[in-house]
Amino acid sequence: MKHQKTLKLIAACALSISASGLFAHGNEGHDGAKPAAVKKEQKEWGVAGDAKSVTRTVTLTMDDNMRFTPDKLAFKQGETVRFVIRNQGKLRHEMVIGTRQDLEAHAAMMAKFPTMEHDEPYMAHVAAGKQQDLVWTFNRAGEFDFACLIAGHFQAGMVGKISVTARASQ
């Protein structure tokens, strides 16, 4: 009986999180393919960018030492950035942009449900030895983070910092 209540509670939590849109689940993304239509949902850390609006390209590497290179990035508010994300390891890795709080919550979910699949425009899932692009517009100033949220990777320190400076007043 207690086991059934626990399973029902887990199922209710998963449905609640899925319905909230905090974590989208699907089969897209983990094979490196992006869905055809990108959601242009405003996030605290920006909005999905258009490839034709890219003002800067940053190459980011990931490896099995659970590190990003570089792990500190700085942008100006309004920049649309193409991240070329290269996985130099033998394990699958991902780059997910967000606030520290959002990333911590998502990492905790991934630790509990390691086969959970998700895909959002602020995420790139990269197979071993492959690369993928992510285009993002940093239209809000602030301090943000990026991380690999595959179970255990975040906890091993696979994180980085993003600083977005405010546009100068005109």
Distance (Å, rounded) from C-alpha 83 to C-alpha 74?
A: 13
Number of domains in the chain: 1
| Residue 1 resides in a domain | no
Mean pLDDT (the chain, rounded): 82
Query: What mean pLDDT is predicted for residues 146-170?
Result: 92
Q: Return the structure tokens found at 71.
A: 């792990």
pLDDT at 113: 87
Pick the residue with more confidence: 16 or 122? 122
Using alpha carbons, select from 74, 62, 86, 84 the residue that is nearest to residue 138: 74
| Residue 86 resides in a domain | yes
For the chain, percent of residues with pLDDT exceeding 70? 76
For the chain, percent of residues with pLDDT exceeding 90? 67
Using alpha carbons, select from 64, 68, 89 the residue that is nearest to residue 134: 68
Distance (Å, rounded) from C-alpha 40 to C-alpha 43?
A: 9
Using alpha carbons, select from 119, 97, 115 the residue that is nearest to residue 35: 119
| Phi-psi label, residue 53: left if phi above 0, alpha if psi -120 to 50, beta otherwise | alpha
The 3-state secondary structure of 94-138, one letter per residue: EEEEECHHHHHHHHHHHHHCCCCCCCCCCEEEECCCCEEEEEEEE
Which residue(s) pair with 161 in the sheet?
72, 145
- Determine the straight-line distance between the first and last CA of the chain, rounded to whole angstroms: 65
DSSP state for residue 24 in the 8-state scheme: -
Pick the residue with more confidence: 5 or 112? 112
| Residue 61 resides in a domain | yes
- Res. 35: pLDDT tops 50: no
Query: What mean pLDDT is predicted for residues 12-18?
Result: 38
| Residue 8 resides in a domain | no
| Residue 170 resides in a domain | no
Range of the domain at 128: 26-165
Which range among 33-37, 139-143, 149-153 has the greatest average pLDDT? 139-143
| Residue 35 resides in a domain | yes
Read off the CATH number of the domain in which 126 is found: 2.60.40.420
- Res. 26: pLDDT tops 80: no
| Residue 6 resides in a domain | no
Query: What mean pLDDT is predicted for residues 78-100?
Result: 97
pLDDT at 168: 78
Neighbours of 31 (CB within 10 A): 10
Pick the residue with more confidence: 144 or 30? 144
| Residue 37 resides in a domain | yes
